[in-house]
Amino acid sequence: MRRIVTLFILIFLSKPALWASSGSEEHSRDLPEEQKETIFIKMPMDRFDRDTRIPKELVGEIEKHYIKHFRVVHAESSLEDNEVRRQIPRRYLNVIVEFEKNGSYAIDQNIRLQTVQGSGVVDFKKYVSRGVGHFKLRVKVDREGADSHLSSSDVRVYFVGETRAKRIDGKIFGSGCNTWMEVSKWFRKTWSREGLDLYAKEERYLRVVGGTYYFVHFFEGVLYLSTLTFKDSRYPDSECPVSKT
C-alpha cells in the first residue's frame, strides 16, 4: 500500500455561465438519425476546494518524466536534476467531462462540464438521478491556448483510489483506498474516445471511476497539470478515510 502525502494546490474562484443551445437542438431534430449531433447542456463544475492528496511517489513519477522532456527541449542546459525540479514552470490543463444519456434513464440529460483553473469535482449526486440504467462518461483534455482538444497520446493520466472497493454479484468493483496507478492507455483507447459505459445499479459507476485523476502534459518545457475528482456525496461510507501521513 502506498502512503499518501498532502500537497497543497491553490485554486482560484471561477464561475462559468450555465447555458444551453436550444437553436442547435431544434436544427438537429430535422436531420436523419445518423447525422444528428449530440447536444450537451453546459454546466459549471464544482471547484476543487480542499487539499489535494497525492502520493509522494507519484510526484516523483511526474517529475521524472518532466526532466526527460526538459533534456530534449533544452539539450544545451547544464542544470542538475534537482535544480530543474525547483524551476518547473506550470500551467493548467482544461478537462472536459461529458455525461451522455445513451438511451437509458440513469441521467436526465446530456451534460458537459469543465474544470475550473486546473481542478474540479464531479459529484454524481447532481447528475445520476436513478439507481437503474446506464450512461456514457467521456473525458477530453485541452491545453490552455490550444486551438483544439489535445491528442490523447500527448497526455499522461494517473489515478488515485479514494473509494472503497465493493463486492457486487460476486465481483469486486473498484481499486480500493490509497492506491495509485497510471491509466494513460485506458484513457487513450476508451475514455477519451467512445467513452465508458457506467451502470447505476448499486453504485457501480462510483466504484469504477471514484477517486482523483491527474492529467499531465509537457509542451515546450512547461508542465501542464489538472486534477479531476469523481465522488457521490449520497454515499459517504464509500469514501476512503483521509490519510494522516
- Terminal CA-to-CA distance of the chain, rounded, Å? 13
Could you tell me the residue ranges of all domains in the chain?
16-26+38-236
**Residue 195 phi/psi, 5° resolution?**
95, 175
**pLDDT at res. 182:** 96
What's the CA dihedral at 38, 41, 44, 50 to 10 degrees? -60
Q: Is 17 exposed, middle or buried (0-12, 13-18, 19+ CB in 10 A)?
A: exposed
**CB–CB of 216/187 below 8 Å?**
no
Short-list 207, 196, 212, CA closest to 238: 207
Between CA 156 and CA 131 the distance in angstroms is 32
pLDDT averaged per 10 residues in sequence order, the chain, 245 residues: 39 30 41 62 79 82 97 96 96 94 86 91 92 91 70 90 82 79 92 90 90 95 95 91 63
**pLDDT at res. 244:** 53
Between CA 231 and CA 182 the distance in angstroms is 19
The structure's pTM equals: 0.80
**CB–CB of 213/148 below 8 Å?**
no
* Helix spans in the chain (H): 22-29, 56-73, 81-86, 184-186, 204-209
